[in-house]
Amino acid sequence: MLAFYQVYDDLFSELLERIDGAFSDLAEEALDWTPDPALNPITVLVVHTTGALQDWVGQMLGDIPTQRDRDEEFQAKGLSKFQLHELIRGAEELVHQVLENSTLEDLEQKQYSVIHKDYFTGGFALAHALEHTALHLGHLEVMRELWEQFDWDQKD
């Protein structure tokens, strides 16, 4: 793997490990819980983040076709911790595989995003995927904190 991509691989691995650990010790009920319908529960955050990695890194950089349904990601519920862990592991393996096989020239290649209806370079896709993953890690950590601090005695 090129040194440039090794840095990204390490960063993605760290972020995905933190996502994986953020819900590992929570009750299963926490996965689909949200204190407000405007907030995405943990399951949605994991499904959406891993779907986005398939799209941005897999398809846009690695030219690996995906059948992603972004809208459906936000309806995800009922997945077990094991299933969420598997999604994360799969995304990590995909990112590693793409980065292992990428060249610096791939950063300049443009791919069309059906979801965003625009062309993006591999470099943009890689940077955006990293930013997007970190953003949703933060959201997931907030959901965990809300779950832990929720006043269950005042529950409606």
The domain spans of the chain are 3-150
Worst-scoring range by mean pLDDT, 9-13, 110-114, 121-125, 152-156? Answer: 152-156
Q: Phi and psi dihedrals of 39, rounded to 5?
A: -105, 140
pLDDT recorded at residue 151: 75
Residue 86 has pLDDT above 80, yes or no: yes
Share of the chain above pLDDT 90, in %: 95
**Predicted confidence (pLDDT) per residue in 21-36, tens digit:** 999 999 999 999 999 9
User: Which residue's structure tokens are 């990204």?
Assistant: 8
Share of the chain above pLDDT 70, in %: 98
Residue 149, CA atoms < 13 Å, CB-side half-sphere: 6
Residue 156 has pLDDT above 90, yes or no: no
Mean pLDDT of the chain: 96
Give the DSSP H/E element, type plus range, for residue 46.
helix 42-53
User: How far apart are alpha carbons 39 and 48 in whole angstroms?
Assistant: 13
Q: How confident is the model at residue 155 (pLDDT cuts 50, 70, 90)?
A: low
**Predicted confidence (pLDDT) per residue in 92-121, tens digit:** 999 999 999 999 999 999 999 999 999 999
Residue 17 has pLDDT above 80, yes or no: yes
Sequence-ordered list of residues with C-beta below 8 angstroms from that of 59, at least 6 positions apart, any chain:
65, 66, 68, 111
Sequence-ordered list of residues with C-beta below 8 angstroms from that of 35, at least 6 positions apart, any chain:
146, 150
Q: CATH second-level architecture of 3-150? A: Up-down Bundle (1.20)
| Residue 37 DSSP one-character state | T
Residue 153 has pLDDT above 80, yes or no: no
